[in-house]
Amino acid sequence: MSRSPLRLACLLLLSSCGVSHELFGGGTDSSLGQSAATPTVFGYAVADEPQAALIGRAVLNQGGNAADAAAAEGFAMAVTLPSRAGLGGGGACVIAMPNAPAATLIFPPGEPAAPGGGRPAAVPTLARGLLAMQAKYGQLPYAAIIVPAERLAGGVPVSQALAADLQVVGPALLADPAAAEVFGENGAALQAGATLQQPDLAAALEVLRTQGVAGFYNGGFAQNFAAAADAAGANLSAADLQQAVPQFAPPAAASQNGFDIAALPQPAATGAILPASAAFMALDKDGGAVACATTMNNLFGTGRIAAGTGILLARSPRENPAPILAAAIATAGGRFRAAVTGTGQAAAAQAALDAMQAALARQTVNTPDPGRANVISCPGLVSGGEGSCTAAADARGGGLAIGGR
């Protein structure tokens, strides 16, 4: 474990360029887009889509810990931001819970056993990864973290974040009848504020809630999903679904100015255009923290939905370079100090690095464009100094940070 800032840069930094943006300010939280009831317990939830952050905060208020809240945020974003965080994709998390060593959970969209297909798709791993994390570290029944997402799938306003992604893909996404039914209206992509309804996705989440991982990745649902995905050109099999297993591992580790930093490992820089990502994180009253990043290996993945399941298919990793999934958590003597996530394709690692260095130095952060950084910072540490805490979602991303006491 290195003692220099250079080591931290090696963990998080791949590229830099861009503009300055302030993330830190006064108050207990820095939020965008939506308000919510006053928190009843200390804690923070931050996500690149506002409804997901609100759900994370609600889970904390209901007695969940950071693992419960983060998992609930991830499932919510599978509904509200499927362009970057769909059930057909995957991701990775950094986990730092009290009285446990820091860890990472890696569950990228998987590579199918056989190549081919008109639109090769990845093996979906998001649900398996989030439930593995919640099973190991959470304290609520796993169904409780799926119910909010299931309800959102019945109908939720399109956020600014999703609307912006829809404008990028435009007619290409709506060329798929199943996708057009979900994301289009009168031949055009849904605008911010329109109602996004996904009844098939709600049914898939119900299967996950009532039958668990076994029912989702095996048996009748898995067979139907694989057949529908294959019809969409995915070339996935039921065997592929059974073999994609998330992996717990020690984090990439560094120390800076007395703080221990646990981060997601980073792929080598290739210079290629990298897939988009999204992020979310949570901090609970005991100082437990989780920071995650997700990807579809392409904006909206393959652009095709497995008909009858509501699940947007991520792009096969054979087709794209590995995305940058950037997140890190800093502690001092086992007590929480800061958590950051970075998105923005090739600039994601730089954004996370800048945010962490700024949080630890109690300074304003300069994030590179197109990088985006979300932050939870507690200069007084947790527990004992909760009054020093603040959180921020990058104002350019349309997300939400909410919390306090």
Could you read off the pLDDT of 76-133 as tens digits, one per residue? 999 999 999 999 999 999 999 999 999 999 999 999 888 878 899 999 999 999 999 9
Closest CA to 44 of 378, 277, 341, 363: 378
Pairwise CA distance, residues 327 & 293, whole Å:
7
Give pLDDT < 50 ranges for the chain: 1-37
Q: Which residue has the tokens 């999903």?
A: 225
Q: Would residue 116 be called left, alpha or beta, if left means φ above 0 and alpha means ψ between -120 and 50 degrees? A: left
Helix/strand/coil for 221: helix
> Which pLDDT score, from 0 to 100, does residue 242 have?
87
SS3 86: coil
Give the per-residue pLDDT at 304: 96
> pTM for this one?
0.91
**Residue 145, number of CB atoms within 10 A of its CB:** 28
In angstroms, the CA 326 to CA 275 distance is 13
Q: How far apart are CA 184 and CA 189, in angstroms?
A: 4
Q: What is the pLDDT, as a whole number, of residue 38?
A: 60
Longest dimension (CA), the chain: 58
Q: How far apart are CA 115 and CA 402, in angstroms?
A: 43
In which element (H, E) is residue 76 found?
helix 66-80
Measure Cα distances from 122 to 213, 315, 321, 359 in Å: 18, 5, 13, 36
Q: What angle do CA 399, 402, 404 make, to 5 degrees?
A: 160
Per-residue model confidence (pLDDT) at position 392:
95
**In the prediction, which pLDDT does 19 show?**
24
For residue range 323-374, list pLDDT tens digits in order.
999 999 999 999 999 999 999 999 999 999 999 999 999 987 778 789 999 9
